């Protein structure tokens, strides 16, 4: 039974999926950081809400048997920012989480809610590209798994079907190395104008993704291969050009499309400098 005619609070994933299947207009809600703001602004008027924060199987971070990491969709940003399991190449995820909004919002917002919202200025999507994450989706009709690049489809649009929710993110076993999230915003905690998520393994493998420059994060297999071979100024510059060529940003209150394109190669170079100098300091 819902607590009121309009708010359901299931205790298990199956119960939540049953409600969503039976109530087509219901919106899943987790931390509320995006959806309640949109409701307050009159942008959405859900007829029913299904709160996902009391379902133990959707919360928390755990190691999989193969050394990978499973992050429940209702895990809050503050928990991810503080989680030491995100070491090596996976450090980029905790670093991104630590730069989302301010303390109070990090105590509320959840990774599943953020990624399902699919705002191009969000911090998690590029970081999830950089760790090569897969998204677990659950529905009454069955469960499936998608690479993050196939989950994010367009501006505020994901591969989620009606009645389906994000249940977890699966991060392949991190490699020894480091991760860095470089965010350029007007003020601390604002949406990114441009962001760079970078993971760099000690064996040389590099993965980079760019946020804020189009409907979904920019990533390029070719750029990753180039950066995995060497991190010379020339190579980083060419990888920056490749990524800029993929950019499809818009003009908005935070910056023009042209400005965003100018930032991409400069920020990539800075992210590489930061990550390599931090690595030298440790070595």
Partner 1 sequence: MSEPASLTLKVNGKARTATAAGTDTLLTVLRDQFLLTGAKRGCNQGVCGACTVLADGRPVRSCLSLALDCDDRPIDTIEGLTGEPIMQALQRAFIARGAFQCGFCTPAMLVASFALLQSNPRPSDTDIRRALSGNYCRCTGYKKIVEAVLDAAARLPAETPA
How many binding residues for partner 1 (CB under 8 A)? 33
DSSP 58: G
Task: Tell me: does residue 5 bind partner 1 (CB under 8 A).
Answer: yes
H-state helical runs in the chain? 13-22, 35-40, 77-81, 91-97, 103-106, 111-117, 124-130, 148-151, 221-229, 233-246, 257-282
68, 107, 215, 263: which one contacts partner 1 (CB under 8 A)? Answer: 107
32, 163, 212, 265: which one contacts partner 1 (CB under 8 A)? Answer: 32
Task: Tell me: does residue 16 bind partner 1 (CB under 8 A).
Answer: no
Dihedral angle sign, alpha carbons of residues 211, 217, 222, 225: positive
Task: Tell me: does residue 7 bind partner 1 (CB under 8 A).
Answer: yes
Nearest partner of 23 among 7, 34, 3, 11, judged by Cα: 7
By beta-carbon proximity to partner 1, the closer residue of 29 and 264 is 29
Stretch that binds partner 1, among 42-50, 64-72, 156-164, 231-239 (CB under 8 A): 42-50
Q: Which two tokens stand for residue 248?
A: 């499809």
DSSP 3-state assignment of 90? helix
By beta-carbon proximity to partner 1, the closer residue of 44 and 245 is 44
Task: Tell me: does residue 253 bind partner 1 (CB under 8 A).
Answer: no
Task: Tell me: does residue 1 bind partner 1 (CB under 8 A).
Answer: no
Stretch that binds partner 1, among 31-39, 58-66, 117-125, 203-211 (CB under 8 A): 31-39
Task: Tell me: does residue 12 bind partner 1 (CB under 8 A).
Answer: no
* DSSP code string of 237-277: HHHHHHHHHH-----BTTB-HHHHHHHHHHHHHHHHHHHHH
Residue 282 burial (CB < 10 Å; 0-12/13-18/19+)?
exposed
From residue 65, give the alpha-carbon distance in Å to each of 170, 172, 173, 195.
Answer: 12, 11, 10, 32
Stretch that binds partner 1, among 24-32, 149-157, 232-240, 273-281 (CB under 8 A): 24-32
By beta-carbon proximity to partner 1, the closer residue of 108 and 247 is 108
CB of 98 to partner 1, least distance (A): 9
Task: Tell me: does residue 9 bind partner 1 (CB under 8 A).
Answer: yes
Q: Find out whether 87 and 175 touch, Cβ atoms under 8 Å.
A: no
CB of 102 to partner 1, least distance (A): 2
Report which secondary-structure segment, H or E, holds 50: strand 49-51
CB of 90 to partner 1, least distance (A): 23
Interface residues toward partner 1, by CB under 8 A: 3-7, 9, 29, 31-33, 36-37, 39-41, 45-49, 51, 53, 78, 101-105, 107-108, 187-189
């Amino acid at each position: 039974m819902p607590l009121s005619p309009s708010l359901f609070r299931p205790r298990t994933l199956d119960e939540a999926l049953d409600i969503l299947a039976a109530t087509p207009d219901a919106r899943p809600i987790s931390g509320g950081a995006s959806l309640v703001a949109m409701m307050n602004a009159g942008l959405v008027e859900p007829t029913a809400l299904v709160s996902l924060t009391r379902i133990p199987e959707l919360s928390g971070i755990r190691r999989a048997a193969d050394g990978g990491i499973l992050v429940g969709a209702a895990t809050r940003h503050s928990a991810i920012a503080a989680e030491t399991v995100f070491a090596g190449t996976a450090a980029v995820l905790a670093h991104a989480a630590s730069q989302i909004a301010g303390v109070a919002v990090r105590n509320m917002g959840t990774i599943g809610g953020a990624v399902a919202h699919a705002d191009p200025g969000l911090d998690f999507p590029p970081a999830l590209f950089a760790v090569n994450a897969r998204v677990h989706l659950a529905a009454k009709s069955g469960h499936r798994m998608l690479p993050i690049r196939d989950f994010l489809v367009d501006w505020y649009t994901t591969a989620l079907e009606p009645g389906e929710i994000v249940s977890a993110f699966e991060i392949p076993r991190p490699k020894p190395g480091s991760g860095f999230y470089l965010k350029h915003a007007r003020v601390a905690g604002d949406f990114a104008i441009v962001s760079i998520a970078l993971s760099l393994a000690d064996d040389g493998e590099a993965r980079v993704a760019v946020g804020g420059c189009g409907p979904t994060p920019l990533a390029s297999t070719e750029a990753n291969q180039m950066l995995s071979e060497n991190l010379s100024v020339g190579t980083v510059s060419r990888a920056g050009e490749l990524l800029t060529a993929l950019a499809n940003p818009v003009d908005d209150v935070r910056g023009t499309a042209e400005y965003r394109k100018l930032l991409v190669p400069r920020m990539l170079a800075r992210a590489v400098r930061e990550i390599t100098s931090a690595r030298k300091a440790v070595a």
